[in-house]
Amino acid sequence: MILSDREILAALARGALRVTPQPNSEALSSTAVDLSLAKELMLLRKPVVAGVPTSVCPADPNYRFDELVKGYGEQIEISPDGYVFMSGSFMLGWTNEKIQLPHRSRLAARVEGKSSLARLGIGVHVTAPTIHAGFGYKKDDASFLENPLQLEMWNCGPLDVKLAAGMLICQLIVEVVDGTPEKGYEGKFSVQGPTT
């Protein structure tokens, strides 16, 4: 069941969902909360070994995304003039807002793109929209309260599109989980941010 704007506000008020900064009334639609783009972006370059482009294998037991990013990622900052997202390119971005879904709150969420960007061919959070119950929580660090969402962004349209820091980039759709999870999400992407 998807929460309405009233139920999202009630979840925020009781701490079952945390969004920082707290969304204003303009950020809420009937069934979603709009989120904005942070100024940090990450571009990935094709891995090259001994001068030869090579593939990566996420099924390899030695594969680590964080190591791949260290070697082949380029972190950039959106200037005040914006950043041109070239047609046919892929990059990672983050939300300005930080999210926490305490696993005992019986809530999970999905990140979906904005139709205004989709009509230009911009996909946001491509193929990985689920925000699991327990996201934004560190098991061994009670002081850790929330996490930005990392966005997998692809421009599959024919136009180069200028992105601006702070622009509305996606929407959070909050859903009720049937039953209380035994544990929160503890996957390797449970803590995200421009430097992780």
Give the pLDDT score at 194: 63
106-160, pLDDT tens digit by residue?
999 999 999 999 999 999 987 888 998 888 877 676 666 788 999 999 999 999 9
H-only helix segments in 46-173: 65-72, 115-118
pLDDT at 102 over 60: yes
Give domain status of residue 46, yes or no. yes
Give the pLDDT score at 193: 59
CATH number assigned to the domain comprising residue 16: 2.70.40.10
- Kindly report the average pLDDT of the chain as a whole number: 89
Give domain status of residue 188, yes or no. no
CA geometry: angle 162, 163, 164, nearest 5 deg = 125
Give domain status of residue 190, yes or no. no
Q: How far apart are CA 78 and CA 76, in angstroms?
A: 7
Q: How far apart are CA 99 and CA 16, in angstroms?
A: 11
Q: How far apart are CA 185 and CA 58, in angstroms?
A: 20
The total of structural domains in the chain comes to 1
- Known catalytic residues are 152
Give the pLDDT score at 178: 86
Give domain status of residue 49, yes or no. yes
Give domain status of residue 192, yes or no. no
Give domain status of residue 184, yes or no. no
Give the pLDDT score at 54: 86
Exposure b/e, 89-117, CB count within 10 A at least 16 = b: eebbbbbbbbbbbbbebbbbbbbebbeeb
Give domain status of residue 189, yes or no. no
Report the 10 Å Cβ neighbour count for 34.
17
Give domain status of residue 44, yes or no. yes
Residue 77's domain comprises 5-176
pTM score, whole prediction: 0.86
